[in-house]
Each structure stands twice: as C-alpha cells, then as structure tokens.
C-alpha cells in the first residue's frame, strides 16, 4: 500500500482504520465469548443473565482512556511527521534506542517500575546494542531511492526558497559588477551553503520529532498498563480494546486529517485501481493482525512489568533484521553482528534480573493484578470516586 505503485502514503489515517477494525473485532469477541464480558464472574465461570451497562463513567473515561488515546496519537503522529525530514534508517535507530529510556522514565515516574542500578544498566546496554543493531540499515536502499518532493514537501520548499533568494542576489551582483562568471561562482557557493544548512536543520528537526514520539510511546504504554489495572471496565484485554480503540481512532483521524489530509486520502488512486472493496480488504486484513498484536501487547502489560513490553519489541526488531538478512538478502556489517550479540546477551541478563526479582522479597511493583472479585466489589464505589493511577501507585509504594 505504501509502495510507489499505489502510493497510498497515509499511515496515520490507515492506523485510524485499523483502530476501527479493532473495535468491531472486540465487539464480535464479546458477543461470541461470554467470558470476556463485563458481567462475567471468574469464581462462578458464568455470565449473569441480568444486563450490565457498558457506558463508562465520564470521569473514569477521561482519566484513564483519553490520555492513552492522546499519547498514542502523539506517538504515531510525531513519528510519521519526522519521516518528512529524516531517513527511515535514522528514524529506526533513534526510535528503537530512545524508547527504552523513555519507557523506563515513565515507568519509574508513575511508580510502575522500581528503580535499581541494575535496571538502569540493562536499559543503557540495550540502548547501545539496538543502536549497533540498526546502524547503517537501509542506507543502500535510500541512496538508490532519494527522498522525493512529495515525501519531503516542507524540506523541498525551504530549499526552493533558498535557491530563489540566491538567484535574486545573483542578478543584483551581476548588474553591479558586470561579471557574470564571478556572480555565478558566488551564487553557486551560496546555494550550496544554504541547501546544506536547510538539510542539517531538517535532520535536527526530524530527530527532535522522533525523540518526542519516543517519549509519547513510553507514556502511551505506561498509561495503557494503568488502564488495565484496577478498573472493572478494562479487566481483560478485549474490554480494553473495546473502550480504547474508538478514542484512538477519533484522535488519529483528527491528527491524520491535519498532517496527511483527509481529502488526499479519499481521492487517492488506490480507490480506483483496487476498487472500494479491494481497498477496504487491504485496510481490514492488517487490522486483523493489528488486533492480534495489540491483544498480545495488552496481555503482556497486564501480567508483566512495563519494561518487558519494550524488551519484547526489541526482540521483535532482532527477528525482523535477521529474517531480512536470511530471506531478502539485506546486508549486515560487523557492527550489526556485534549489536546482535550485545542485544541477545542483554536479553538474557534482563530475564535473569526478573527471575532474581521474582524470587526476592521485593517483587516488581506491577506483578500483582487485581482480581475480578475485587474489581466487582469495588464497582459501586468506583463511579463516585475514581483516582488516577499515579496517586494509587504512590499509595501502594508508600
């Protein structure tokens, strides 16, 4: 879809479509399997006949669901905006290395992780390993396929404006001195300087957007883990998707319409070449895989410490690079090979650290999940007194 043939380069709006797919898939799951419903009792293993309202209290919704949607939109929107200024390889390197740091930061700030020197060392070593792992990836492909004007509109406009300014100064210099040769030489030199400056500024701006996206990504998963715990409406991953995906879809539609343009999305050639049914199929099938992936991520967040999800993402990155080398013949240099060894060693260290923590007297702050019975018993008081998880976890750690 994002290739040069179809040129359907609207990742934010496509992600919004995936979120809508997640919503109706969660609805189907709730209809078919009663055990995921809101009124299901784990102790009785039955769903009571009396109906239960799925309408969430507005205070609960805006405290626990909306922040997740805003953080997700920030992560996806800023990340895709950065690709207008930097290459994909630089984006992958910055995002993969920075997201671990920000995940640890938000986990400690929101009392989802207990700070230890070992955990900090593991995160730093993993950051170095991932940076080495993705170093130089995609350089050959990007050299053969330079950034087009459509893919970097803002950058190209700045360069065009710089050339126009140089041309204006060139004409003035030629009139004043009568020397076209000297004026052309000065103009060419000034043009190169301005273009280099604009390109450097674009890289700096793109890198800043990636770091902000990484910050939002860490906050996104921290808030999602908060929403999964201590709330009867999100007591299982299916219900979490049911409540979270509509808010994410609406937020991403607004962000995507501003950045990518909804009119461009609706008038793309893919609707003509593939037809409405074919395009919808291309949008829905990835949504099914996104549903399964999101479900697995929520299960990890519900049963494991926050940093484990990011570590699992690094392992996915490792498998992706390895399969790219094995199947598609992607080139790996010696730095990438050393990065693989460092990353694998750090993964073993992290699992050993969690094993030590599980067998110690001080388990991680996120290992205990409230039971369904406790959630049901507190349902009546939750409507009138909803606390933010930051305060809840601070009280637990006090």
In 3-state terms, the chain is what percent helix, strand and coil (to 5)?
Answer: 75, 0, 25
What does the pLDDT look like over 10-66, one tens digit per residue?
A: 888 888 898 899 999 999 998 898 888 877 765 555 555 556 677 788 888 888 889
What is the residue whose two structure tokens read 């910055």? 94
- Rg of the chain, C-alpha, whole Å: 25
Helix or strand or coil: residue 248? helix
The average pLDDT across 129-145 equals 60
| Closest-CA residue to 317 (of 155, 106, 100) | 100
- pTM attached to this predicted model: 0.65
| Closest-CA residue to 26 (of 249, 313, 251, 309) | 249
What does the pLDDT look like over 185-220, one tens digit per residue?
A: 545 555 555 555 555 677 778 888 888 988 998 898
Angle between helices 275-303 and 11-32 in degrees, nearest 10: 70
Query: Mapped to the 3 state alphabet, what secondary structure does 239-307 carry?
Result: HHHHHHHHHHHHHHHHHHHHHCCHHHHHCCCHHHHCHHHHHHHHHHHHHHHHHHHHHHHHHHHHHCCHH
CB atoms within 10 A of CB 277: 8
| Cα distance between residue 14 and residue 1, in whole Å | 10
The average pLDDT across 257-272 equals 85
């Amino acid at each position: 879809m994002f290739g040069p043939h179809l040129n359907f380069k609207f990742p934010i709006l496509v992600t919004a479509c995936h979120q809508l797919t997640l919503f109706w898939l969660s609805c189907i799951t709730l209809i078919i399997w009663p055990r995921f419903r809101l009124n299901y009792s784990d102790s009785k293993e039955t769903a009571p006949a009396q109906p239960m309202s799925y309408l969430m209290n507005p205070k609960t919704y805006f405290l626990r669901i909306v922040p997740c949607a805003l953080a997700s939109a920030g992560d996806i929107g800023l990340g895709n905006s950065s690709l207008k200024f930097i290459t994909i390889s630089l984006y992958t390197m910055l995002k993969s290395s920075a997201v671990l740091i920000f995940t640890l930061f938000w986990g400690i700030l929101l009392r989802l992780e207990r700070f230890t020197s070992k955990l900090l060392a593991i995160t730093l070593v993993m950051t170095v390993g991932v940076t080495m792992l993705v170093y130089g990836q995609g350089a050959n492909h990007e050299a053969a396929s330079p950034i087009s004007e459509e893919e970097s509109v803002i950058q190209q406009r700045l360069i065009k404006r710089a050339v126009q300014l140089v041309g204006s100064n060139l004409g003035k210099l030629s009139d004043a001195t009568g020397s076209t040769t000297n004026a052309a030489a000065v103009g060419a030199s000034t043009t190169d300087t301005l273009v280099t400056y604009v390109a450097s500024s674009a890289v700096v701006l793109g890198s800043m957007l990636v770091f902000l996206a990484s910050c939002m990504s860490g906050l996104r998963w921290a808030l999602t883990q908060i929403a999964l715990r201590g709330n009867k409406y999100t007591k299982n991953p299916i219900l979490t998707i049911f409540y979270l995906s509509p808010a994410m879809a609406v937020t991403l539609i607004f962000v995507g319409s501003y950045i990518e343009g909804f009119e461009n999305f609706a008038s793309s050639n893919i609707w003509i070449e593939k037809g409405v049914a074919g395009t919808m199929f291309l949008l829905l099938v990835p949504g099914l895989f996104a549903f399964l992936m999101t479900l697995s991520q929520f299960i990890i967040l519900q049963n494991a410490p926050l940093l484990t999800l990011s570590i699992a993402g690094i392992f996915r990155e490792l498998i992706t690079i390895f399969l790219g080398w094995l199947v598609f013949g992607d080139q790996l240099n010696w730095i990438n090979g050393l990065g693989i060894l460092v990353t694998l060693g750090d993964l073993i260290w992290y699992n050993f650290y969690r094993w030590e923590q599980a067998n110690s007297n001080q388990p991680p702050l996120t290992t205990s999940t409230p039971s369904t019975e406790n959630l049901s018993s507190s349902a009546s008081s939750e409507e009138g007194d909803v606390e933010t998880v930051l305060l809840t976890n601070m009280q637990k750690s006090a």
